[in-house]
């Protein structure tokens, strides 16, 4: 009988310092894309613009498709198709989800932003970040399993008045390609996840209105939330 795969395994080239560098550079690229998001742009145009930013930033490759969701599309799950007719309004929101590779290590970052005057949508963006922080703190302080973390996330989202996307469950990260280790999803991981191995993804939506928010980052024992 074959041994079960080590879902937190890394390759021989894995270097925590390079992983952290890939993370930091990914956040810098995301910020550069944000600066170029203007009302009127659609998601296809936003992805094309992101490709230009990648070239300028020296991104050698991506490890998952770039996802930029605008307006009503922010409530859709990763696997659902966007409505291609949606464009960024004058008072609107969008999120960016990047999976980039630097120095043979994967970065995966995501955040939600608003343009114009959109206080309700800004509240959603802030709630997603706050929920990420609460779940990450529960992981550090209580040693919860991956499955317990996502149960906690769902409960906290409901208490905060948001609808939680249970189809988003987080995933492995590491030296490229991490997929050879068959890590599966964080939400299905039975034990306490190790630091600097897993991406915690949070996606919420307004209970009745067509907008939501997304935030993701590395689970890191030293990070501030």
Instruction: Give the contacts of 142 (CB within 8 A, at least 6 positions apart).
Output: none
Q: How far is CA 220 from its chain centroid?
A: 14
From the CB of residue 188, how many other CB atoms can be counted at a distance below 10 Å?
14
The segments of the chain whose pLDDT lies below 70 read: 1-5, 223-225
Q: Is residue 9 part of a domain?
A: no
Range of the domain at 37: 16-218
Q: Is residue 225 part of a domain?
A: no
Instruction: Determine the pLDDT at residue 3.
Output: 44
Q: Is residue 6 part of a domain?
A: no
How many folded domains does the chain comprise? Answer: 1
Q: Is residue 35 part of a domain?
A: yes
Instruction: Check which CATH number belongs to the domain holding 50 and give it.
Output: 3.90.230.10
pLDDT tens across 2-47, in order? 345 689 999 999 999 999 999 999 999 999 999 999 999 999 999 9
- How far is 202 from 45, CA to CA, in rounded Å? 25
Contact 149, 134 (CB under 8 A): no
Instruction: Determine the pLDDT at residue 4.
Output: 52
């Amino acid at each position: 009988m074959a041994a079960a795969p080590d879902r937190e395994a890394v390759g021989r080239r894995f270097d925590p310092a390079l992983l952290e560098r890939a993370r930091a550079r990914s956040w810098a690229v995301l910020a550069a894309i944000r600066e170029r998001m203007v009302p009127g742009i659609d998601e296809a145009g936003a992805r094309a613009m992101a490709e230009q930013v990648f070239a300028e930033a020296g991104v050698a490759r991506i490890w998952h498709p770039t996802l930029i969701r605008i307006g009503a599309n922010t409530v859709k799950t990763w696997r659902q198709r966007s409505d291609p007719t949606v464009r960024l309004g004058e008072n609107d929101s969008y999120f960016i989800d990047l999976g980039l590779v630097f120095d043979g290590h994967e970065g995966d970052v995501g955040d939600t932003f608003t343009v114009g005057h959109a206080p309700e949508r800004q509240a959603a963006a802030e709630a997603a970040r706050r929920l990420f922080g609460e779940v990450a703190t529960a992981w550090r302080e209580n040693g919860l399993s991956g499955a317990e973390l996502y149960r906690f996330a769902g409960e906290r989202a409901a208490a905060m008045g948001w609808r939680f996307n249970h189809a988003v469950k987080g995933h492995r990260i590491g030296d490229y390609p991490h997929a050879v280790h068959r890590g599966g999803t964080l939400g299905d991981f039975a034990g306490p996840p190790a630091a600097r191995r897993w991406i915690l993804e949070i996606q919420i939506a307004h209970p009745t209105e067509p907008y939501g928010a997304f935030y993701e980052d590395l689970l890191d024992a030293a990070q501030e939330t």
